[in-house]
Structure 1
């Protein structure tokens, strides 16, 4: 039997792709997109959403501050679900395989409270976790240690019995510093291999 008691998933670029630049490239072209992202801190705005600010309020505030780019900034709100797409099919299969194997699965994600609810409407698998620790709800975000502590306390699982998959090295490092087992996600095939090697899934289950 595996020594791992639960698997913790990041969501963006692990279960669903997150690529705002791709949407902007399609809508306004790469050159104008590059100029926009140089002039306007859209990712900083999104970080505030991740910490609990409503998406609509954050977008409206930034559009007022940057009126020359107001129409482009509005895209972040109006086309948000296109930025958080598509799902990564094999990762979703792994999540569901773990559930079938009765391995607890938790989400630990930097995500807005309202955008996480919206994403759940489009991606039902986001509602299938045993527990979800969402930065916008908790008003704390990775890689700050407090959000990892919130999961430990909320689940009662010892740090050394958690396996955490995240695409960002700093988030993985913060988990490892707390004694979590970690997997730096670079694609679903590598995660599948790790789950098999840990005895959580068979090769057939992880296919």
Structure 2
């Protein structure tokens, strides 16, 4: 089946997303574990990814846990340090596909405010042909609706989409729609998948 468009997740595919690593540096591993055990930071981030206001969500959560207030506010005030660095080889693969005329889409759980911040630090996020960002859509992966909407808005049939994501649940939801999928475990494996699908010749791959 010919692939008509390639779909990239962003976090841990194009940009490293390891908040625990940042808080380990900030607090030490033991205190970070205590913070994450007591405060549902990832649940808060999921609300942001669904379209809630970034600043308001982080700061409201901080006020509910005054003994963690300063640390929680780092999620907003130092967010770009949580979402870093970029993964250069993945960015090179994105650009190689575009150079060959392959349409490339983004499909990512990302808040409105956080995506705006990321664009300032990572200009390659503006290079996609289409961007499907959960905060703007009001729905997150792995909800089937976000995949259905990408299909409808792009006009590409499910079986002609090739999608990479680092989370198995997101990959499974796409596969259930009939998408071609690749579980991202590093850019080298993704490169091999793109070559295997005939989207990049070995000599052109990053």
- CA RMSD in angstroms comes to 0.8
Distance 2:72 2:203 in 1: 45
* 1:57-76 correspondence runs (5 A): 57-76=56-75
Structure 1, unpaired ranges of 5+: none
Q: Return the offset for 1:66.
A: 1.2
After superposition, give the CA deviation of every residue in 1:66-96 in whole Å (9 maximum; x if it has no partner).
1111111001011100110000010000000
* Count of residue pairs the alignment pairs up: 206
1:164 match: 163
Counterpart residue number, 2:116: 117
Correspondence for 1:203: 202
The DSSP-based 3-state class of the residue aligned with 1:37 is helix
Residue equivalent to 2:50 = 51
Deviation readout 1:105-128 (Å, 9 max, x if unpaired):
000000001111110110011111
- Correspondence for 1:5: 4
1:60 shift after superposition: 1.1
CA distance in 2 between partners of 1:116 and 1:156 (Å):
24
* Aligned structure 1 segments of 4 or more residues deviating by more than 2 angstroms: none
TM-score, structure 2 length as denominator? 0.98
- In 2: Cα distance, 1:60 partner to 1:27 partner: 18
Q: TM-score, normalized by length of structure 1?
A: 0.98
Matching of residues 84-99 of structure 1 within 5 Å: 84-99=83-98
The CA deviation string for residues 31-89 of structure 1, in whole angstroms up to 9 with x for no partner, is: 11111001100010000000001110001110111111111100101110011000001
2:147 matched to which residue of 1?
148
Please give the alpha-carbon distance, in whole angstroms, between the structure 2 residues aligned to 1:164 and 1:16.
16
